[in-house]
Amino acid sequence: MQESSHMRTMKPSKMPTLMERAACIKKNLKQGLKKPYKDVIDVSWGDPQRAGMKPLTFVRQVLAACFYPQLLEGDNLPLDVKRRAQKLLKCCDGGSVGAYTNTPGISEIVENIAEFLNRRDGIPADPKYIWIHPGSQTSLTAILTLLVNREASPKCGVLMPVPGHSTTPLSLEALGGVVVPYFLDEDHGWELRVDELRRALVSARGVCQPVALYVINPGNPTGHVQSRKSMEEVIRFVAENKLFLLADEVYQSSIYDPEREFVSYKKLLWELGSPLAHTLELASFHSASKGLLGECGLRGGYVELLNMDPAIMPYIQQTFHLVTLSPVSGQIALDLMAKPPQPGDPSYPLYIQETESARSTLLDNVKRAQQVLNSLPAVSCQPIQGGAFAFPKLHLTDKAIRKAKEEGMQPDMFYCVRLLEETGLFVSPGCEYGQKEDTYHIRFCIMTPADVMEDLLKRLTTFHLQFMKAFA
């Protein structure tokens, strides 16, 4: 098995990172240094609020009342906000968000997540198989800890998508596991193809023993939303090869293509019936950080386990006891995601207004981004069906590639460094997420206000035309 391009590009470098360069530029601008731009647009993260999106009023009002209960005594908060905050405080030991919680999370909030999953899938969810962690990535790492035996020979491997989430391969390698890369099909909208999974599995022979398959749906950074047919093929592949299925579904509420819908792996597994529905081991992940809620800084995510052998549940509980507790702020955010305001509640009209406005902005951003990107010379962008990012391909010239190598950088990193320094636009290079050899991409968050997206696309267009001219 060859080393993936992701692993090659994640090795330590003595050069300043893009983040360090961006921080330096921001500091210089504050100190009055003259640049061709007034500010840095940071769309390198999947962080809506970092990119300028506003938090939902209902969420912040409930949080405010929970953290400062004196607000409940006045008349400035809607009645349903007060009642929700009071109910949440009663669930906290000592009636305070400053108290420790149970390891799986506040039991009432875990039960509300189970009800949310029941409504989403039409399938009962058992609270005892749900754990809250400080972000979905922490949940995923906890599951990898259970799956990967550091002493095993050959080593344990996990099939992971390329391109894919940049942190997960690092977590696996830190645990002593091996990344088995499978490539998504860019020419077909970043589709996940089972024949590529089979190729990856064969490539692992003699190197490691694959124990799990990791999928991201909707895709990060690709924006692809899997079809039911694709998901069914994946499920049968996992069952055939006796793998554990890890389903990263954190962008499930962010679907932009009217021809696509989010279907959870749990729901489809259930629809396929016995024996798969009752035998295939599945861990699915979700978070309060993504989608319209966008509360990345509050740190709340969860994992739901399905079809686990009861004999190993004590080991799971023991492992999860070693994982950092999710802060109460993140648990509250998950509760508000699972049970938002309902028709008839005082907060409902404003909640609907804010969420529909945000959704409309994101739909416009997707259309505008795809239109501009695909109009630029030497750029192509596959349809953004869901998720938080655009991931366009750069068709760089030989001259640009040679110059990048002279500078000791990957070509798309070279592009991003020049883009940041010349325009103040901070995007991520595709080499950070893995990509096929001799292909180059950039990734940027599309969850921004409309004016930020227009400024972003204007800066990118101006720079790209100049860059391609300079390296023609």
Q: What does the pLDDT look like over 378-416, one tens digit per residue? A: 999 999 999 999 999 999 999 999 999 999 999 999 999
The pLDDT of residue 325 is 84
Other beta carbons within 10 angstroms of residue 115's beta carbon come to 14
Whether 280 and 386 map to the same domain: the answer is no
Per-residue pLDDT for 13 more than 70? no
The DSSP output letter for 96 is: -
User: What's the rounded mean pLDDT across residues 76-88?
Assistant: 98
* Alpha-helical runs (H) found in 376-410: 398-406
In the predicted model, what is the mean pLDDT of the chain? 94
In a domain, 408, yes or no: yes
Q: Do 310 and 360 fall within a single domain?
A: no
User: Does 391 share its domain with 428?
Assistant: yes
360 and 330 within one domain: no
The residue to which tokens 């875990």 are assigned: 110
Of the candidates 205, 169, 194, the residue with the CA atom closest to the CA atom of residue 11: 169
> Which of 306, 338, 370 is the endpoint of a domain?
338
Specify burial of residue 33 (Cβ count, 10 A radius: 0-12, 13-18, 19+). exposed
CB contact at 8 A, 281 and 242: no
Task: State residue 318's pLDDT score.
Answer: 87
Same domain, residue pair 239 and 332: yes
How much is the pLDDT for 323?
Answer: 83
Residue 81 lies in a domain: no
**Domain final position from 304, 338, 372:** 338
Q: Is the pLDDT of residue 331 over 80?
A: yes
Pairing of strands 244-248, 208-216: parallel
In a domain, 442, yes or no: yes
The β-bridge relationship of strands 130-133 and 379-380 is unpaired
The enclosing domain of 435 has a CATH number of 3.90.1150.10
Q: Do residue 176 and residue 224 come from a single domain?
A: yes
**Is residue 411 within 8 Å of residue 402, measured between CB atoms?**
no
Structural domain contains residue 91: no
Split at pLDDT 50, 70, 90, the class of 14 is low
- Count CB atoms within 10 A of the CB of residue 28: 12
Cβ–Cβ < 8 Å for 386, 365? no
Mean pLDDT of the 363-371 span: 98
Contact criterion met (CB below 8 Å) for 295 and 286: no
Between β-strands 393-394 and 440-445, what pairing exists: parallel, antiparallel or unpaired? Answer: antiparallel
Which of 376, 303, 288 is closest to 333 using CA atoms?
288
Task: Based on the fold, state whether residues 361 and 265 are members of the same structural domain.
Answer: no
Tell me, yes or no, whether 322 and 363 share the same domain: no
84 found inside a domain: no
Q: Report helix, strand and coil shares of the chain as percent, to nearest 5.
A: 50, 15, 40
Domain enclosing residue 365, as ranges: 5-53+355-470
At residue 7, the pLDDT reads: 36
Number of compact structural domains in the chain: 2
pTM: predicted TM-score of the whole model, two decimal places: 0.94
Q: Is residue 450 part of a domain?
A: yes
Give the pLDDT confidence score for residue 278 in this predicted structure: 95
Cβ burial of 202 (10 Å; 0-12, 13-18, 19+) is exposed
Contacts of 187 (CB under 8 A, 6+ apart): none
Judgement on whether residues 251 and 224 belong to the same structural domain of the protein: yes
Could you read off the pLDDT of 416-433 as tens digits, one per residue? 999 999 999 999 999 999
pLDDT for position 312: 87
The answer to the question of residue 74 being in a domain is no
Based on the domain organization, do 404 and 261 belong to the same domain? no
Question: Which of 404, 405, 424, 399 has its CA nearest to residue 415?
Answer: 404
pLDDT of res. 290: 86
Question: Average pLDDT of 71-100?
Answer: 96
* Residues 47, 112 share a domain: no
The CATH number that applies at residue 114 is 3.40.640.10
Asked if residue 163 has pLDDT above 90, the reply is: yes
pLDDT at 250 over 80: yes
Residue finishing a domain among 309, 338, 367: 338
Q: Is residue 345 part of a domain?
A: no
pLDDT of residue 402: 97
Q: Are residues 166 and 257 in the same domain?
A: yes
**Which ranges constitute the DSSP H helices of 92-127?**
107-121
